[in-house]
Structure 1
Amino acid sequence: MNMAITDGLVLMPPAFAAGLALWSRGDGVPGSGSYAGQPNAALVAADADFGGCLELQKTEATQKLRCFQQIPLQPGLYLRVTARVKAVAGALPAVRIAGWAGRSDGTNLASAVQVGPSVALTSYGEVVTVTAIVGAGNRQGVDMVWGGAAVYGHFGLDLTGSNGGIVRIDDISIEDATPVFQRKLLALVDVRDHGAVGDGATDDTAAFLAADAEAAATGRELLVSAGTYRVEGHLTLNARVRFEGRLSMPAESRLACTRNFDLDSYASAFGSETAGFAKALQALFYFSDHVALDLSGRRVDLAGPVDVAALAGLTSFAQRRLLTNGQLNAVPGDAWATETVSSHATYSTSAPTRLTGVVNVAAVPVGALVSGAGVGREVYVLSKNVGAGTIELSLPPGGLAGRRSFGFTRYKYMLDFSGFASLSKFEITDVELQCNGEASAILLPMAGSTFRLADAVINKPKDRGVTSAGSGCQGLFIDQCQFLSNEQPARAQDRSSIGLNVNSNDVKIRDNRVVRFAHFAILNGTGHMLIGNHIFQGDDETAGLRRAGIVFTQTNTKSLVTGNYIDNCFIEWSNEHDPAPGYASEYSFGGLTVSDNIFTTTDVAGSFCWFVLAPKGAGHFLNGLSLTGNAFRAVNGDVERIDRLDSSVATMDFSRFRNVTIGNNTFNGVGQITASPVTVEHVQNTAAATWSVDASAFLPFGARARNVSALVAEGAITTAAGAVQFVTPYVQVEQGSGGRLVNLRWPQEVKGRMQVTLRCDNPV
């Protein structure tokens, strides 16, 4: 007997010698008749085989023998009921173990199997042992499955067959057979012990809850033994659970394994990593005592996009949640196919993020990239109103108004969060998104803040790494990740994939490694920090073209680029998303610090520049640019200069430059140093009253010489005849063509050498 289960439980029925009043000729329930004084029943004191026993003549179609004693039964307890019987006269009957299953309210559990296997008596005097096992669980070897609702039984036997036969029955024994079914009884509670059927059709929810309650209360592990268990509705398991069998649940129903919330458990529960990942990710949004889903270091194959919001059944969520430690792998299939729609719409700069009169608006997917003449990069469909025929955009498409053609391209993402109207504090760490050129990686929620991607790998995205189609990039963290393009063999100018884009403010992009995209980051908004990244966008071409690695599309960007390795690409600064790109008393280009970076190129055309200013409207100027402490190096071919003004659309108002500092940089393989302020040495060999000082090659972006901050004569200033003059000139700035020269005006004609410090701006 297993005392861990049965200690304190009285399992053995009374001996017949204790009196036949203790034995019922019915079901054993109170009020049923006993065998005391019955003519067909007698005690035998000394049978040769049994010693004391009961002699019983069969007088009914089913002659019942039940003890009045209530034998307890509980989940996890299995009882073996045994009777030894022999025929002594008359017709030979059949014998079976039988019982009456009692509920806690004293009623019979009619659905329970209440008879065991039947054994025929075939000769007189032969001792036949009849046995049956009774228990809650639907296990192999259990003859009478009573489920979790039966709490006691009245046990005995039945005689069936022809009447008139006389049998002798030894004392009936009942013993604990639990060890037959539970090898580690102290460690496990099996759901089958509480009545779970495991046939894939019967709702086993109640059995799971009962078994879990026992396991949690006793500190044991819940065992879901072999079988397929249907659970209708949500299920929370508070004990640690081991799955040998499988669960079947409606798509909207959640499984919460609160003590082992990891992919291993869910994959075991649902039969595959893919199905397990979906159910675990669904549950992640409903836990209060778990914030992280551990992928257990395993790979999850995805045959199509995971619509996270639809899976969760939510449109907003603001608690921290973490997906970590594994790989998501895109497998080929039609579900990754890009959707493309062409349409016509009207754009007005008075409603800068709206398209109206959109043809076939119902077909335009939310989250689609918008393209067309004059449309800035990385503009997406934020929402649509089919009835009104309008589309809301993530950013203004630019400054071209009117009726025109637009293209809408909806990429497919492995993790698509766009169904969330708002999601904050979601994190993905130590996960590789293996896109395999089949899928893009992550589409951020439409709104929210502080989404975090850290120590992750975006590997071979088909079109995009991380996309923001709304404002869900507010406060985005991208830390210590690798972005590996699917277009690495292609020439830089032929690539189209983009690592990430941003529409909102305060993004931190730190310590990432980025390889060969068309662009790594297209950044609208302000307050960004790019620190410690290695951005490599080169190719294998000789004298090859290069594209921007980092693109700022906000004029007053209030951002810094510090300590990065910017390799075979450049920084571009534009206002391509401005609906009114010309200057109109707003903040102009400013607030950008580019410091202590390594800039390098290999085999590029000499016209390449590492910093490109590209205004899309007239009248703009620089008010706050610091380009300091950087190292510029060109390998296998010199670069003409580090800076360039792209004036293909508009130039700058150089007369309004303020707070521009370009200095303390080093230049190798660069034809012309750029600096402001810059100190140049002017040597005047012929005496003149006006010395024209030309430092225009040093000034950035073709800017003017607007200020002289220092004049130092090196040696004597003399007349033509050599007489030393103790005189000081005054300066005239912005002289000559384009205002790029400075005149030193002397009170008389003199000659000599002068160190002149000038700058392209007003410093305050």
Structure 2
Amino acid sequence: MNKAITDGILLMPPAFANGLDVWSSGDGTPGSDTYNGAANATFVPADQDFGGCLEVFKTEATQRLRFMGETPILPGCYLRVSARVKAVSGNLPSLRVAGWAGGAGGAHVTGLTDTGPATALSTYGEVIEISAIVGTGLRGGVDMPWGMTPLYGHFGLDLTGPTGGVVRIDDIRIEDVTSVYLRDMLGQVDVRDYGARGDGVTDDTAAFIAADDAADGRHVFIPAGSFFLADSVTLENPAVFEGTLTMPTDKIFVMRKSFDLPSYIAAFGDEETAFRKAFQALLNNADHDSLDLGGRKVTLTGPIDMQAAVPNKTSFATRRVIRNGQLDASGGAAWDTATMTSLASYTATDPKKLTDVANIANIPVGALVEGAGVGREIYVRARNIGAGELTLSAPLYGAPASQTYTFRDFRYMLDFSGFSSLSKFELCDVELQCNGNCSALRLPTSGSIFSLRGCVISRPMDRGITSIGTGCQGMLVDNCQFLSDEDSLDVEDRVSIGLNASSNDVKLRNCRSTRFMHFAVLGGANNMISGNHCFQGDSVAGGIRHAGIVLTSSYVSTTITANYIDNCHVEWTNEHDATPDFTSGMSFAGLTVSDNIFLSGDVAPWTSHIVIKPYGTGQYLNGVMIMGNKFRSINGSINRADRVDDSIAPLDATRHKHVAFHSNSYHQVSNQVANPARMIHSEPSASQTWTVDLSADLPFAGRARGVDSVTAQGQIRTASDAGHYAAPHVILEQAPAGAGVDLQWGSAVKGVVAILARMDG
């Protein structure tokens, strides 16, 4: 590039032979003194070395010679100012190239290097070339880097040192030497050419913006160095980094043509910083819906507060995706769980509040709450320090009026809890390797449709995915793996949980979970759970099993379909009910469990596959369908597939309605229940009252509340073997515990009947 050729810009000053009226003895600005008619200067027309030249007698400590024309300073353009000189007589001075920088409106731009290196003359008659390079960028060999503020310069020479000497100066030359700085790849614009210093201190923001403006489709090149950007910068063109950036946390760096994590790692050097800045740009960049991690593994030394990485936003509702990479948690104290205890008050009339909380400022939002009457997976959703109140993610079921609670603040690789609302956010094909050091994801306080697709949550210390509020509304978890860090522990020693949700409409599909205490704890309704494989077993003979899927609301309106529920079970409770005693509503309602594979092995005989645990009196089943499932036990049999855990309260078996429990298959299950239950009863001796025990045939400790039919299997006969053709009537809810019926005949008879009985009304 040569601006004199390409753009016709006049750079070369006129020869001294054309007159000295444009050569100033001052700074070269209009009105300064010139050498025209000066007593100490004259034009020599025929010097043996130079031809025509200027002869100057040095009378000042610094004798100046400046061209009064305005030589333009252009971005990316480098000028070489040079002159040949020789000493003629008298004292020998030193000479250097010098200039005066002019800015907008003719103002002097101060604070710049305005002289080149000095050369001392040592011999009379010896021709020496004095030169220096001036330009906008701090490039190698540039003597006078002026940046982007000057618009022009007045250039020439300074004569320094002792006075009294006579020096002859050949015509001063100003040439475009930009080509010296062109790289082999011509399609690049170097930020140094636009004033960037790369010293880690100088604000290079303006230089980056100017270089990007000039690139026009070419690459913006950031050479070796540390470039400080004090303000936000958006690059519209591709960028190539040899150096790195630093910038304040709240300033945004957007690379619209190079928007992926590898590019940000190249820009910032440090992987964690790069991830934060790339995420910040993702939420401040309308041109990209996703951040591609480029298959990179990013090592995290501590939790990433995702909202703190984007200080200008506390909520966001436009679809954004992080995809295609791996996050790896390295060990260190930054991952240690913080545990606090505090005295607080509670009342069921305000079921999601703790009041009069001592030391509330020490209790963080997102902490797990533990104490008497506290159900599983209840978290601090919000706090009001002034009022001394904590808002919880779910009610407590039986907490005392005052007690000391424990709060555990787990550490998460990606912590979104600082967002008041975040919707339509996705992780796709991302592996979170917790390595037993930490938990994986903490969701925002509120929001909807948080999505994970094809992700792997590996070895979380405490939790895989935690919802502390309603940020799980409509959450989608598809084709993911949850791999426990507690594989080697027996079931009873495990404490980690794959995921929880406290809001509605969760879709949990086609996932695989291994050896957590629980795979999923779901507190909302309208869930769809399908195609998953959750495995919770161990090698202890006759061992216990925890629930794989836990539902914590009585009305769930949930389907659990076509899952492989392996050495664990479905548990249905109402532990998140502030008033668990039934007074109104639908009670335990709206659950469909269909076409699942339930398998257990080496378990205690009282193990069951579907367990209902009421937390209050008067609760009953209302609209429950359990159909088409395969219940199987290996290496020993179990008593039954269904069970009511009445350790806190029983179900009210007199009130069940609309319960369908049929078309299931059983293998190594002693009591194979159904509703309606078909039982063959044989009465070998004639009796007028036949007592039929259905406790092993009706599910969930149900009472025999109805008999649809009594059908003779062969002839009913009297004691004398005479045929008896009158039908019996039925007396319901007899012993044992209401699970029996009495068949009353007109006379004493014997025979075999098939009874179709129901435990619902």
Q: Same fold (TM over 0.5)?
A: yes
For structure 1, list consecutive stretches of 5 or more residues without a partner in the other structure.
Answer: none
Aligned residue for 1:110, secondary structure, equals: coil
Q: Which amino acid aligns with 1:245?
A: G
Match of 1:517 in 2: 516
Cα contact 1:342–1:406 (8 A) shared by 2: yes
Distance 1:123 1:65, change over 3 A: same
Match of 1:193 in 2: 193
| 1:91 Cα deviation after fit | 4.2
Deviation track 1:274-302 (CA, whole Å, cap 9, x = no partner) reads: 22223333333322323323333223333
Kindly indicate whether residue 181 of structure 2 is the aligned counterpart of residue 181 of structure 1: yes
1:26-175 aligned at under 5 Å gives the runs 26-36=26-36, 47-50=47-50, 52-61=51-60, 62-163=62-163, 165-175=165-175
Instruction: Name which of structure 1's ranges 439-448 and 704-713 shifts more when overlaid on structure 2.
Output: 704-713
Aligned residue for 1:671, secondary structure, equals: strand
Q: Which amino acid aligns with 1:664?
A: S
| 1:620 Cα deviation after fit | 1.2
Cα contact 1:53–1:168 (8 A) shared by 2: no
Instruction: Name which of structure 1's ranges 31-40 and 372-381 shifts more when overlaid on structure 2.
Output: 31-40
Match of 1:484 in 2: 483
Deviation track 1:593-633 (CA, whole Å, cap 9, x = no partner) reads: 11111111221122211111111112111111111121222
Q: Which amino acid aligns with 2:122?
A: T
| 1:692 Cα deviation after fit | 4.5
| 1:470 Cα deviation after fit | 1.8
Cα contact 1:79–1:174 (8 A) shared by 2: yes
Cα contact 2:89–2:166 (8 A) shared by 1: yes
Aligned residue for 2:280, secondary structure, equals: helix
Q: Which amino acid aligns with 2:572?
A: W
Aligned residue for 1:739, secondary structure, equals: coil
Cα contact 1:696–1:702 (8 A) shared by 2: yes
Cα contact 2:732–2:738 (8 A) shared by 1: yes
1:189-338 aligned at under 5 Å gives the runs 189-215=189-215, 218-313=216-311, 314-338=313-337
CA distance in 2: counterparts of 1:347 and 1:25, whole angstroms:
88
CA distance in 2: counterparts of 1:664 and 1:515, whole angstroms:
29
Instruction: Name which of structure 1's ranges 88-97 and 578-587 shifts more when overlaid on structure 2.
Output: 88-97
For structure 2, list consecutive stretches of 5 or more residues without a partner in the other structure.
Answer: none
CA distance in 2: counterparts of 1:361 and 1:126, whole angstroms:
85
Aligned residue for 1:57, secondary structure, equals: strand
Cα contact 2:695–2:736 (8 A) shared by 1: no
Cα contact 1:179–1:185 (8 A) shared by 2: no
Cα contact 2:318–2:424 (8 A) shared by 1: yes
Cα contact 1:399–1:577 (8 A) shared by 2: no
Instruction: Name which of structure 1's ranges 715-724 and 278-287 shifts more when overlaid on structure 2.
Output: 715-724
1:554-593 aligned at under 5 Å gives the runs 554-593=553-592
1:632-671 aligned at under 5 Å gives the runs 632-671=631-670
| 1:408 Cα deviation after fit | 2.0
Aligned residue for 2:209, secondary structure, equals: helix
Kindly indicate whether residue 434 of structure 2 is the aligned counterpart of residue 454 of structure 1: no
CA distance in 2: counterparts of 1:143 and 1:358, whole angstroms:
67
Cα contact 2:264–2:274 (8 A) shared by 1: yes
| 1:382 Cα deviation after fit | 2.4
CA distance in 2: counterparts of 1:572 and 1:337, whole angstroms:
31
CA distance in 1: counterparts of 2:193 and 2:84, whole angstroms:
28
Deviation track 1:42-80 (CA, whole Å, cap 9, x = no partner) reads: 555565544x43141324324433334432221111112
| 1:518 Cα deviation after fit | 1.0
Cα contact 2:693–2:735 (8 A) shared by 1: no
Match of 1:422 in 2: 421
Instruction: Name which of structure 1's ranges 192-201 and 151-160 shifts more when overlaid on structure 2.
Output: 151-160
Provide the alpha-carbon RMSD of the alignment.
2.7
1:697-712 aligned at under 5 Å gives the runs 697-712=696-711
Match of 1:740 in 2: 739
| 1:683 Cα deviation after fit | 4.2
Q: Which amino acid aligns with 2:615?
A: K
Aligned residue for 1:702, secondary structure, equals: coil
CA distance in 1: counterparts of 2:645 and 2:184, whole angstroms:
76
Q: TM-score, normalised by structure 2?
A: 0.93
Instruction: Name which of structure 1's ranges 513-522 and 80-89 shifts more when overlaid on structure 2.
Output: 80-89
CA distance in 2: counterparts of 1:228 and 1:320, whole angstroms:
34
CA distance in 1: counterparts of 2:755 and 2:25, whole angstroms:
123
CA distance in 1: counterparts of 2:622 and 2:716, whole angstroms:
37
Match of 2:356 in 1: 357
Distance 1:175 1:356, change over 3 A: same
CA distance in 2: counterparts of 1:144 and 1:358, whole angstroms:
65
Distance 1:235 1:665, change over 3 A: same
| 1:163 Cα deviation after fit | 4.5
Cα contact 2:326–2:433 (8 A) shared by 1: yes
| 1:751 Cα deviation after fit | 5.2
Instruction: Name which of structure 1's ranges 423-432 and 742-751 shifts more when overlaid on structure 2.
Output: 742-751
CA distance in 1: counterparts of 2:527 and 2:239, whole angstroms:
45
> Aligned pair count?
759
Match of 2:405 in 1: 406
Distance 1:345 1:94, change over 3 A: closer
Cα contact 1:55–1:166 (8 A) shared by 2: no
Deviation track 1:149-188 (CA, whole Å, cap 9, x = no partner) reads: 1222233333334455444444433332223223057422
Distance 1:93 1:6, change over 3 A: farther
Cα contact 1:5–1:77 (8 A) shared by 2: no
Deviation track 1:545-572 (CA, whole Å, cap 9, x = no partner) reads: 1111111111111111111111111111
Instruction: Name which of structure 1's ranges 314-323 and 16-25 shifts more when overlaid on structure 2.
Output: 16-25
1:684-763 aligned at under 5 Å gives the runs 684-686=683-685, 690-715=689-714, 728-745=727-744, 752-762=751-761
1:609-624 aligned at under 5 Å gives the runs 609-624=608-623
Aligned residue for 1:159, secondary structure, equals: strand
Distance 1:362 1:155, change over 3 A: closer
Cα contact 2:282–2:290 (8 A) shared by 1: yes
Distance 1:578 1:689, change over 3 A: same
Q: TM-score, normalised by structure 1?
A: 0.92
Cα contact 1:575–1:615 (8 A) shared by 2: yes
Deviation track 1:452-472 (CA, whole Å, cap 9, x = no partner) reads: 222222222221221222222
| 1:592 Cα deviation after fit | 0.6
CA distance in 1: counterparts of 2:429 and 2:378, whole angstroms:
29
| 1:39 Cα deviation after fit | 6.1
Instruction: Name which of structure 1's ranges 350-359 and 647-656 shifts more when overlaid on structure 2.
Output: 350-359
| 1:686 Cα deviation after fit | 4.9
CA distance in 1: counterparts of 2:14 and 2:3, whole angstroms:
20
Distance 1:372 1:162, change over 3 A: closer
Q: Which amino acid aligns with 2:29?
A: V
Aligned residue for 1:376, secondary structure, equals: coil
Distance 1:391 1:39, change over 3 A: closer
Cα contact 1:381–1:394 (8 A) shared by 2: yes
CA distance in 2: counterparts of 1:231 and 1:30, whole angstroms:
37
CA distance in 2: counterparts of 1:5 and 1:463, whole angstroms:
69
